[in-house]
Structure 1
Amino acid sequence: MEIEKAYFTLPEILDRWSISEADLIYLAENDKLRLSVRVFGIPLELGDYEDTGNGERFRVPWEHSRYSGLLDLYAQDVFQLFRCSEIHISDFRTPRASYAALYGEAEPIFVMIGDLLLRLEERDRFETETGFSGADTGPQLPIFSASPEYHEVRCGGHQFRLGPIQAQVVRALHEATRRGEAWQSGKAILSAAGSKSLKMSDVFKSQKQWRSLIESNGRGNYRLNCGCFRPIPFRHACPSGSTVGCAGG
Protein backbone atom coordinates (compact mmCIF):
# COMPACT_ATOMS: atom_id res chain seq x y z
CA MET A 1 0.00 0.00 0.00
CA GLU A 2 1.33 3.45 -0.97
CA ILE A 3 0.09 6.40 1.07
CA GLU A 4 -0.40 9.87 -0.40
CA LYS A 5 2.22 12.32 0.84
CA ALA A 6 2.54 16.09 0.78
CA TYR A 7 6.35 15.87 0.83
CA PHE A 8 9.22 13.41 0.50
CA THR A 9 12.65 12.86 2.00
CA LEU A 10 15.71 13.17 -0.22
CA PRO A 11 16.43 9.40 -0.12
CA GLU A 12 12.91 8.82 -1.47
CA ILE A 13 13.56 11.24 -4.35
CA LEU A 14 16.96 9.72 -5.11
CA ASP A 15 15.33 6.32 -5.29
CA ARG A 16 12.45 7.54 -7.48
CA TRP A 17 14.66 9.38 -9.96
CA SER A 18 17.63 6.98 -9.80
CA ILE A 19 20.13 9.84 -9.72
CA SER A 20 23.20 10.47 -7.60
CA GLU A 21 23.19 12.68 -4.52
CA ALA A 22 25.65 14.97 -6.32
CA ASP A 23 23.13 15.50 -9.14
CA LEU A 24 20.35 16.36 -6.71
CA ILE A 25 22.65 18.80 -4.88
CA TYR A 26 23.50 20.45 -8.21
CA LEU A 27 19.81 20.94 -9.03
CA ALA A 28 19.04 22.40 -5.59
CA GLU A 29 21.96 24.82 -5.24
CA ASN A 30 21.40 26.11 -8.79
CA ASP A 31 17.75 26.82 -7.97
CA LYS A 32 16.41 24.28 -10.43
CA LEU A 33 14.77 22.41 -7.56
CA ARG A 34 13.42 23.99 -4.36
CA LEU A 35 14.00 22.09 -1.16
CA SER A 36 12.00 22.61 2.03
CA VAL A 37 12.12 22.02 5.78
CA ARG A 38 9.35 21.17 8.26
CA VAL A 39 8.89 23.64 11.12
CA PHE A 40 6.66 23.64 14.18
CA GLY A 41 5.09 26.64 15.92
CA ILE A 42 7.62 29.25 14.84
CA PRO A 43 6.83 33.01 14.91
CA LEU A 44 6.61 33.79 11.20
CA GLU A 45 6.14 37.07 9.37
CA LEU A 46 4.73 37.06 5.84
CA GLY A 47 4.80 40.04 3.53
CA ASP A 48 5.53 41.65 0.19
CA TYR A 49 8.23 43.96 -1.11
CA GLU A 50 7.61 47.56 -2.14
CA ASP A 51 9.91 49.65 -4.34
CA THR A 52 11.10 53.02 -3.05
CA GLY A 53 11.47 54.37 -6.59
CA ASN A 54 15.26 54.73 -6.41
CA GLY A 55 16.14 51.09 -6.92
CA GLU A 56 15.72 50.05 -3.30
CA ARG A 57 12.94 48.04 -1.73
CA PHE A 58 11.51 47.46 1.72
CA ARG A 59 9.38 44.82 3.37
CA VAL A 60 5.67 45.31 3.98
CA PRO A 61 4.45 42.64 6.43
CA TRP A 62 0.81 41.60 6.32
CA GLU A 63 0.70 38.62 8.69
CA HIS A 64 2.27 37.53 11.98
CA SER A 65 1.43 34.05 13.20
CA ARG A 66 2.66 30.88 14.81
CA TYR A 67 3.35 28.63 11.85
CA SER A 68 3.72 24.89 11.48
CA GLY A 69 4.33 23.34 8.08
CA LEU A 70 6.78 23.44 5.18
CA LEU A 71 8.99 26.39 4.27
CA ASP A 72 11.22 26.54 1.19
CA LEU A 73 14.92 27.39 1.32
CA TYR A 74 16.83 29.89 -0.79
CA ALA A 75 19.44 28.43 -3.14
CA GLN A 76 22.31 30.16 -1.31
CA ASP A 77 21.25 28.56 1.97
CA VAL A 78 21.07 25.13 0.33
CA PHE A 79 24.57 25.72 -1.04
CA GLN A 80 25.91 26.51 2.44
CA LEU A 81 24.02 23.64 4.03
CA PHE A 82 25.50 20.98 1.77
CA ARG A 83 29.00 22.31 2.41
CA CYS A 84 28.74 22.79 6.17
CA SER A 85 26.22 20.00 6.95
CA GLU A 86 24.26 22.41 9.15
CA ILE A 87 23.08 26.02 9.04
CA HIS A 88 20.98 28.55 10.97
CA ILE A 89 18.21 30.19 8.90
CA SER A 90 15.87 33.12 9.55
CA ASP A 91 14.53 33.84 6.04
CA PHE A 92 12.53 31.48 3.86
CA ARG A 93 10.55 31.20 0.66
CA THR A 94 6.85 30.43 0.66
CA PRO A 95 4.20 30.24 -2.10
CA ARG A 96 1.94 32.38 0.09
CA ALA A 97 4.01 35.58 0.11
CA SER A 98 7.00 37.37 -1.39
CA TYR A 99 8.98 36.65 1.76
CA ALA A 100 8.74 34.72 5.02
CA ALA A 101 10.94 35.56 8.00
CA LEU A 102 11.19 34.95 11.71
CA TYR A 103 10.16 37.97 13.75
CA GLY A 104 10.56 39.28 17.28
CA GLU A 105 13.33 37.70 19.32
CA ALA A 106 13.08 34.29 17.67
CA GLU A 107 16.38 32.49 17.28
CA PRO A 108 17.38 31.33 13.76
CA ILE A 109 16.25 27.79 13.01
CA PHE A 110 18.92 25.09 13.11
CA VAL A 111 18.74 22.96 9.94
CA MET A 112 20.71 19.82 9.07
CA ILE A 113 20.92 17.99 5.74
CA GLY A 114 18.68 15.23 7.08
CA ASP A 115 15.91 17.80 7.60
CA LEU A 116 15.58 18.54 3.88
CA LEU A 117 12.34 17.62 2.12
CA LEU A 118 10.79 18.01 -1.32
CA ARG A 119 7.18 19.13 -1.69
CA LEU A 120 4.84 17.01 -3.80
CA GLU A 121 4.02 20.09 -5.92
CA GLU A 122 7.72 20.80 -6.51
CA ARG A 123 8.43 17.20 -7.46
CA ASP A 124 5.57 17.22 -9.96
CA ARG A 125 6.59 20.63 -11.35
CA PHE A 126 10.14 19.46 -11.99
CA GLU A 127 9.04 16.21 -13.60
CA THR A 128 6.53 18.00 -15.84
CA GLU A 129 8.91 20.74 -16.99
CA THR A 130 11.85 18.43 -17.64
CA GLY A 131 10.01 15.31 -18.76
CA PHE A 132 12.14 13.47 -16.22
CA SER A 133 10.56 10.91 -13.93
CA GLY A 134 11.34 7.71 -12.18
CA ALA A 135 8.72 5.04 -11.71
CA ASP A 136 5.72 5.08 -14.03
CA THR A 137 3.02 6.89 -12.07
CA GLY A 138 0.33 6.65 -14.74
CA PRO A 139 -1.37 9.57 -16.47
CA GLN A 140 -0.78 12.96 -14.84
CA LEU A 141 -3.27 15.82 -14.65
CA PRO A 142 -2.11 18.94 -16.49
CA ILE A 143 -0.28 21.46 -14.35
CA PHE A 144 -2.11 24.36 -15.99
CA SER A 145 -5.36 24.45 -17.95
CA ALA A 146 -7.65 27.25 -19.02
CA SER A 147 -10.97 27.94 -20.68
CA PRO A 148 -10.82 29.81 -24.02
CA GLU A 149 -11.27 33.23 -22.36
CA TYR A 150 -9.25 32.35 -19.24
CA HIS A 151 -12.20 32.98 -16.93
CA GLU A 152 -11.71 29.48 -15.52
CA VAL A 153 -8.19 28.19 -14.93
CA ARG A 154 -6.64 25.35 -12.99
CA CYS A 155 -3.13 25.21 -11.60
CA GLY A 156 -2.08 22.01 -9.88
CA GLY A 157 -4.87 21.13 -7.49
CA HIS A 158 -6.40 24.63 -7.42
CA GLN A 159 -9.27 25.90 -9.55
CA PHE A 160 -9.93 29.60 -10.10
CA ARG A 161 -12.89 31.52 -11.51
CA LEU A 162 -11.47 34.85 -12.62
CA GLY A 163 -12.90 38.28 -13.23
CA PRO A 164 -12.22 40.12 -16.52
CA ILE A 165 -9.00 41.87 -15.45
CA GLN A 166 -7.71 38.82 -13.58
CA ALA A 167 -8.33 36.72 -16.70
CA GLN A 168 -6.42 39.21 -18.87
CA VAL A 169 -3.46 39.11 -16.48
CA VAL A 170 -3.32 35.30 -16.50
CA ARG A 171 -3.70 35.23 -20.29
CA ALA A 172 -0.79 37.67 -20.69
CA LEU A 173 1.43 35.70 -18.30
CA HIS A 174 0.56 32.45 -20.06
CA GLU A 175 1.36 33.93 -23.48
CA ALA A 176 4.67 35.21 -22.09
CA THR A 177 5.48 31.74 -20.79
CA ARG A 178 4.82 30.22 -24.21
CA ARG A 179 7.18 32.80 -25.76
CA GLY A 180 9.90 31.73 -23.34
CA GLU A 181 9.70 35.05 -21.46
CA ALA A 182 7.90 33.89 -18.32
CA TRP A 183 8.96 36.73 -15.99
CA GLN A 184 7.03 39.92 -16.72
CA SER A 185 6.76 43.34 -15.09
CA GLY A 186 3.71 43.27 -12.83
CA LYS A 187 2.94 46.94 -13.39
CA ALA A 188 3.16 46.57 -17.18
CA ILE A 189 0.91 43.51 -17.18
CA LEU A 190 -1.69 45.15 -14.92
CA SER A 191 -1.66 48.39 -16.90
CA ALA A 192 -2.16 46.53 -20.19
CA ALA A 193 -5.06 44.62 -18.62
CA GLY A 194 -6.80 47.91 -17.76
CA SER A 195 -6.37 47.67 -14.00
CA LYS A 196 -6.65 50.85 -11.92
CA SER A 197 -4.38 49.26 -9.32
CA LEU A 198 -0.77 48.39 -10.14
CA LYS A 199 -0.42 45.94 -7.24
CA MET A 200 -0.94 42.28 -8.10
CA SER A 201 -2.08 41.51 -4.54
CA ASP A 202 -4.90 44.08 -4.87
CA VAL A 203 -6.12 42.76 -8.20
CA PHE A 204 -6.17 39.15 -6.97
CA LYS A 205 -7.30 39.77 -3.38
CA SER A 206 -10.57 37.94 -4.10
CA GLN A 207 -8.56 34.77 -4.88
CA LYS A 208 -7.36 33.30 -1.59
CA GLN A 209 -4.90 30.91 -3.28
CA TRP A 210 -3.73 33.27 -6.03
CA ARG A 211 -0.06 32.81 -5.12
CA SER A 212 -0.43 29.17 -6.14
CA LEU A 213 -1.26 30.50 -9.61
CA ILE A 214 1.11 33.48 -9.92
CA GLU A 215 4.65 33.67 -8.55
CA SER A 216 6.59 36.83 -7.66
CA ASN A 217 10.37 37.16 -7.72
CA GLY A 218 10.14 39.86 -5.03
CA ARG A 219 11.39 42.53 -7.46
CA GLY A 220 8.16 43.48 -9.19
CA ASN A 221 8.16 40.69 -11.77
CA TYR A 222 5.63 37.87 -11.99
CA ARG A 223 5.13 34.59 -13.83
CA LEU A 224 2.67 31.71 -13.86
CA ASN A 225 3.43 29.25 -11.09
CA CYS A 226 2.46 26.36 -13.39
CA GLY A 227 4.04 24.17 -16.02
CA CYS A 228 2.56 22.66 -19.16
CA PHE A 229 -0.76 23.71 -20.67
CA ARG A 230 -3.91 21.97 -21.82
CA PRO A 231 -7.21 23.72 -22.61
CA ILE A 232 -10.17 22.95 -20.38
CA PRO A 233 -12.67 21.00 -22.51
CA PHE A 234 -16.13 22.51 -22.74
CA ARG A 235 -19.34 21.19 -24.28
CA HIS A 236 -21.04 23.75 -26.50
CA ALA A 237 -24.64 23.63 -27.63
CA CYS A 238 -24.87 22.60 -31.28
CA PRO A 239 -26.60 24.96 -33.70
CA SER A 240 -29.95 23.66 -34.84
CA GLY A 241 -29.55 20.89 -37.38
CA SER A 242 -25.76 20.79 -37.03
CA THR A 243 -23.44 18.43 -35.19
CA VAL A 244 -20.11 19.68 -36.57
CA GLY A 245 -17.56 20.15 -33.79
CA CYS A 246 -20.07 19.34 -31.05
CA ALA A 247 -20.18 16.49 -28.59
CA GLY A 248 -23.00 14.10 -29.08
CA GLY A 249 -25.36 12.92 -26.36
Structure 2
Amino acid sequence: MHIDKLYFTLPEILERWSISDSDLIYLAENDRLRLSVRVYRVHIEFGAFEETVDGEPVRIPREQARYSGLLDLHAHDVHQLFRCGEVHLSHFRTPKADHATLRGEVAPVLVLIGDLLLRREERDRFEIQTGFSAAVEQEEERVLIASADYQEVHCNGHRFKLGPIQAEVVRALHEAAGRGESWQNGKVILSGAGSRSLRMADVFKSQANWRSLIRSDGRGGYRLNLD
Protein backbone atom coordinates (compact mmCIF):
# COMPACT_ATOMS: atom_id res chain seq x y z
CA MET A 1 0.00 0.00 0.00
CA HIS A 2 1.30 3.46 -0.93
CA ILE A 3 1.00 6.16 1.76
CA ASP A 4 1.15 9.73 0.49
CA LYS A 5 3.41 11.23 3.17
CA LEU A 6 3.95 14.90 3.91
CA TYR A 7 7.39 14.25 5.42
CA PHE A 8 10.03 11.53 5.60
CA THR A 9 12.63 10.24 8.05
CA LEU A 10 16.30 10.57 7.14
CA PRO A 11 16.73 6.79 6.62
CA GLU A 12 13.94 6.96 4.02
CA ILE A 13 15.72 9.79 2.21
CA LEU A 14 19.11 8.04 2.36
CA GLU A 15 17.54 4.95 0.81
CA ARG A 16 15.70 6.94 -1.87
CA TRP A 17 18.77 8.91 -2.91
CA SER A 18 21.37 6.20 -2.24
CA ILE A 19 23.73 8.68 -0.62
CA SER A 20 25.82 8.46 2.55
CA ASP A 21 25.03 10.03 5.91
CA SER A 22 27.95 12.41 5.45
CA ASP A 23 26.59 13.63 2.10
CA LEU A 24 23.21 14.40 3.66
CA ILE A 25 24.87 16.18 6.58
CA TYR A 26 26.94 18.25 4.15
CA LEU A 27 23.81 19.36 2.27
CA ALA A 28 21.98 20.27 5.48
CA GLU A 29 24.73 22.15 7.31
CA ASN A 30 25.49 24.15 4.16
CA ASP A 31 21.80 25.12 3.91
CA ARG A 32 21.28 23.35 0.60
CA LEU A 33 18.65 21.15 2.25
CA ARG A 34 16.36 22.16 5.12
CA LEU A 35 15.77 19.56 7.80
CA SER A 36 12.77 19.74 10.12
CA VAL A 37 11.50 18.51 13.47
CA ARG A 38 7.92 17.87 14.56
CA VAL A 39 6.55 19.74 17.58
CA TYR A 40 3.25 19.56 19.42
CA ARG A 41 1.25 22.47 20.87
CA VAL A 42 4.11 24.85 21.53
CA HIS A 43 3.67 28.62 21.79
CA ILE A 44 5.36 30.09 18.71
CA GLU A 45 5.84 33.58 17.31
CA PHE A 46 6.16 33.62 13.52
CA GLY A 47 7.64 36.56 11.68
CA ALA A 48 10.12 38.05 9.26
CA PHE A 49 13.52 39.70 9.47
CA GLU A 50 13.99 43.31 8.39
CA GLU A 51 17.14 45.42 8.42
CA THR A 52 17.62 48.61 10.39
CA VAL A 53 19.30 51.65 8.83
CA ASP A 54 22.54 50.26 10.26
CA GLY A 55 22.04 46.97 8.45
CA GLU A 56 21.21 45.03 11.60
CA PRO A 57 18.48 42.37 11.31
CA VAL A 58 15.44 42.75 13.57
CA ARG A 59 12.55 40.36 14.07
CA ILE A 60 9.14 41.58 12.93
CA PRO A 61 6.36 39.46 14.49
CA ARG A 62 3.51 38.44 12.18
CA GLU A 63 1.56 35.84 14.13
CA GLN A 64 1.46 34.13 17.51
CA ALA A 65 -0.10 30.71 17.93
CA ARG A 66 -0.06 27.41 19.75
CA TYR A 67 1.44 25.30 17.00
CA SER A 68 1.67 21.63 16.12
CA GLY A 69 3.56 20.60 13.01
CA LEU A 70 6.98 20.82 11.40
CA LEU A 71 9.56 23.50 12.13
CA ASP A 72 12.76 23.85 10.09
CA LEU A 73 16.19 24.03 11.68
CA HIS A 74 18.77 26.69 10.87
CA ALA A 75 21.92 25.39 9.21
CA HIS A 76 24.18 26.26 12.17
CA ASP A 77 21.88 24.31 14.50
CA VAL A 78 22.05 21.28 12.19
CA HIS A 79 25.84 21.50 12.33
CA GLN A 80 25.79 21.59 16.12
CA LEU A 81 23.29 18.74 16.31
CA PHE A 82 25.45 16.38 14.27
CA ARG A 83 28.52 17.36 16.31
CA CYS A 84 26.92 16.84 19.72
CA GLY A 85 24.06 14.41 19.09
CA GLU A 86 21.45 16.73 20.59
CA VAL A 87 20.57 20.42 20.80
CA HIS A 88 18.05 22.51 22.73
CA LEU A 89 16.43 25.00 20.36
CA SER A 90 14.14 28.00 20.74
CA HIS A 91 14.58 29.48 17.26
CA PHE A 92 13.39 27.84 14.05
CA ARG A 93 12.10 28.84 10.62
CA THR A 94 9.39 27.66 8.23
CA PRO A 95 8.80 27.93 4.47
CA LYS A 96 6.45 30.85 5.17
CA ALA A 97 8.33 32.60 7.99
CA ASP A 98 11.94 33.71 8.39
CA HIS A 99 11.75 33.00 12.10
CA ALA A 100 9.60 30.89 14.39
CA THR A 101 10.52 31.56 18.00
CA LEU A 102 9.27 29.96 21.20
CA ARG A 103 7.32 32.43 23.34
CA GLY A 104 7.22 33.09 27.05
CA GLU A 105 8.69 30.70 29.60
CA VAL A 106 8.54 27.71 27.27
CA ALA A 107 11.51 25.36 27.64
CA PRO A 108 13.67 24.93 24.53
CA VAL A 109 12.81 21.96 22.33
CA LEU A 110 15.19 19.03 22.74
CA VAL A 111 16.13 17.78 19.27
CA LEU A 112 17.93 14.47 18.71
CA ILE A 113 19.35 13.28 15.41
CA GLY A 114 16.64 10.63 15.21
CA ASP A 115 13.97 13.36 15.36
CA LEU A 116 15.03 14.91 12.06
CA LEU A 117 12.59 14.87 9.14
CA LEU A 118 12.45 16.16 5.59
CA ARG A 119 9.32 17.84 4.25
CA ARG A 120 7.93 16.37 1.05
CA GLU A 121 7.99 19.78 -0.66
CA GLU A 122 11.63 20.25 0.38
CA ARG A 123 12.54 16.83 -1.01
CA ASP A 124 10.76 17.63 -4.27
CA ARG A 125 12.32 21.11 -4.48
CA PHE A 126 15.80 19.66 -4.11
CA GLU A 127 15.21 16.93 -6.69
CA ILE A 128 13.82 19.38 -9.24
CA GLN A 129 16.47 22.03 -8.62
CA THR A 130 19.40 19.65 -8.87
CA GLY A 131 18.02 17.21 -11.43
CA PHE A 132 18.72 14.52 -8.87
CA SER A 133 17.63 11.07 -10.00
CA ALA A 134 16.22 9.10 -7.10
CA ALA A 135 17.39 5.50 -6.77
CA VAL A 136 13.89 4.05 -6.57
CA GLU A 137 12.24 1.00 -8.01
CA GLN A 138 10.84 1.15 -11.53
CA GLU A 139 7.21 1.44 -10.48
CA GLU A 140 8.01 4.53 -8.39
CA GLU A 141 9.70 6.36 -11.27
CA ARG A 142 6.37 7.41 -12.72
CA VAL A 143 5.50 9.59 -9.75
CA LEU A 144 5.09 13.24 -10.70
CA ILE A 145 7.35 15.64 -8.80
CA ALA A 146 6.26 19.26 -9.11
CA SER A 147 7.13 22.62 -7.60
CA ALA A 148 4.40 24.44 -5.69
CA ASP A 149 3.34 26.44 -8.78
CA TYR A 150 3.78 23.44 -11.13
CA GLN A 151 6.09 25.44 -13.38
CA GLU A 152 8.88 22.93 -12.74
CA VAL A 153 7.95 19.28 -13.14
CA HIS A 154 9.87 16.00 -13.20
CA CYS A 155 8.12 12.99 -14.75
CA ASN A 156 9.29 9.79 -16.47
CA GLY A 157 12.91 10.86 -16.52
CA HIS A 158 12.16 14.26 -18.08
CA ARG A 159 12.33 17.72 -16.53
CA PHE A 160 9.87 20.33 -17.73
CA LYS A 161 9.92 24.09 -17.23
CA LEU A 162 6.33 25.07 -17.92
CA GLY A 163 4.59 28.31 -18.72
CA PRO A 164 1.68 29.49 -16.53
CA ILE A 165 -1.08 27.92 -18.65
CA GLN A 166 0.85 24.68 -19.14
CA ALA A 167 1.42 24.55 -15.39
CA GLU A 168 -2.30 25.00 -14.68
CA VAL A 169 -3.12 22.16 -17.08
CA VAL A 170 -0.70 19.83 -15.30
CA ARG A 171 -2.00 20.95 -11.91
CA ALA A 172 -5.60 20.20 -12.94
CA LEU A 173 -4.67 16.77 -14.32
CA HIS A 174 -2.64 15.97 -11.21
CA GLU A 175 -5.51 16.93 -8.92
CA ALA A 176 -7.90 14.86 -11.04
CA ALA A 177 -5.58 11.85 -10.73
CA GLY A 178 -5.55 12.34 -6.97
CA ARG A 179 -9.36 12.11 -6.98
CA GLY A 180 -9.23 8.88 -8.98
CA GLU A 181 -10.56 10.66 -12.10
CA SER A 182 -7.41 10.58 -14.24
CA TRP A 183 -9.03 10.95 -17.66
CA GLN A 184 -10.31 14.47 -18.28
CA ASN A 185 -11.86 16.29 -21.23
CA GLY A 186 -9.02 18.25 -22.80
CA LYS A 187 -11.11 21.25 -23.84
CA VAL A 188 -12.53 21.62 -20.34
CA ILE A 189 -9.06 21.43 -18.79
CA LEU A 190 -7.60 23.95 -21.25
CA SER A 191 -10.50 26.35 -20.82
CA GLY A 192 -10.19 26.15 -17.04
CA ALA A 193 -6.47 26.91 -17.33
CA GLY A 194 -7.23 30.11 -19.25
CA SER A 195 -6.00 28.91 -22.64
CA ARG A 196 -7.28 30.56 -25.82
CA SER A 197 -6.43 27.41 -27.74
CA LEU A 198 -8.45 24.26 -27.11
CA ARG A 199 -5.85 21.94 -28.66
CA MET A 200 -3.45 20.34 -26.18
CA ALA A 201 -0.75 19.96 -28.86
CA ASP A 202 -0.80 23.72 -29.50
CA VAL A 203 -0.55 24.61 -25.83
CA PHE A 204 2.40 22.23 -25.27
CA LYS A 205 4.17 22.69 -28.62
CA SER A 206 7.09 24.36 -26.83
CA GLN A 207 7.70 21.13 -24.87
CA ALA A 208 9.45 18.60 -27.10
CA ASN A 209 8.71 15.64 -24.81
CA TRP A 210 5.28 16.69 -23.58
CA ARG A 211 3.75 13.32 -24.48
CA SER A 212 5.98 11.78 -21.83
CA LEU A 213 4.06 13.96 -19.39
CA ILE A 214 0.51 13.88 -20.78
CA ARG A 215 -1.25 10.97 -22.48
CA SER A 216 -4.13 11.22 -24.97
CA ASP A 217 -6.84 8.63 -25.62
CA GLY A 218 -7.25 9.93 -29.19
CA ARG A 219 -10.83 11.04 -28.47
CA GLY A 220 -10.24 14.33 -26.68
CA GLY A 221 -9.41 12.84 -23.29
CA TYR A 222 -6.13 13.51 -21.48
CA ARG A 223 -4.38 12.32 -18.34
CA LEU A 224 -0.93 12.46 -16.79
CA ASN A 225 1.33 9.70 -18.05
CA LEU A 226 1.88 8.08 -14.66
CA ASP A 227 1.15 4.40 -15.34
- Please state which band the TM-score falls in when normalised by the shorter chain: 0.5 to 0.7
Decide whether aligned partners of structure 1 residues 104 and 144 sit closer, same or farther in structure 2, where only a CA change above 3 A counts.
closer
Deviation of 1:51 (Å): 2.4
The reply on whether 1:13 has 2:13 as its aligned counterpart is: yes
- The 5 Å alignment of 1:1-249 reads 1-132=1-132, 133-135=134-136, 136-143=140-147, 154=150, 229-231=161-163, 232-233=165-166, 235-236=195-196
Decide whether aligned partners of structure 1 residues 246 and 14 sit closer, same or farther in structure 2, where only a CA change above 3 A counts.
closer
Decide whether aligned partners of structure 1 residues 88 and 34 sit closer, same or farther in structure 2, where only a CA change above 3 A counts.
same
Distance 1:27 1:143 in 2: 20
Distance 2:77 2:116 in 1: 12
Do the aligned residues in 2 keep the contact of 1:144 with 1:229 (CA within 8 Å)? Answer: no
Do the aligned residues in 1 keep the contact of 2:121 with 2:147 (CA within 8 Å)? Answer: no
Deviation of 1:246 (Å): 7.8
Distance 2:39 2:7 in 1: 13
Deviation of 1:93 (Å): 1.1
Do the aligned residues in 2 keep the contact of 1:44 with 1:101 (CA within 8 Å)? Answer: yes
Decide whether aligned partners of structure 1 residues 80 and 139 sit closer, same or farther in structure 2, where only a CA change above 3 A counts.
same
Do the aligned residues in 1 keep the contact of 2:85 with 2:112 (CA within 8 Å)? Answer: yes
Greater share of residues in helix? 2
TM-score for the superposition, normalised by structure 2: 0.66
* 1:80-131 C-alpha deviation (Å, 9 max, x unpaired): 0001000001110111222110011111110000000000001111111111
Deviation of 1:229 (Å): 3.0
> What residue identity is the alignment partner of 1:35?
L
Decide whether aligned partners of structure 1 residues 141 and 116 sit closer, same or farther in structure 2, where only a CA change above 3 A counts.
closer
> What residue identity is the alignment partner of 1:137?
E
Report the secondary structure of 2:162's partner residue.
Answer: strand
Do the aligned residues in 2 keep the contact of 1:143 with 1:228 (CA within 8 Å)? Answer: no
Decide whether aligned partners of structure 1 residues 2 and 57 sit closer, same or farther in structure 2, where only a CA change above 3 A counts.
same
Decide whether aligned partners of structure 1 residues 97 and 107 sit closer, same or farther in structure 2, where only a CA change above 3 A counts.
same
Equivalences, count: 167
Of all paired residues, the percent bearing the same amino acid is: 55
Deviation of 1:137 (Å): 2.8
Deviation of 1:38 (Å): 0.3
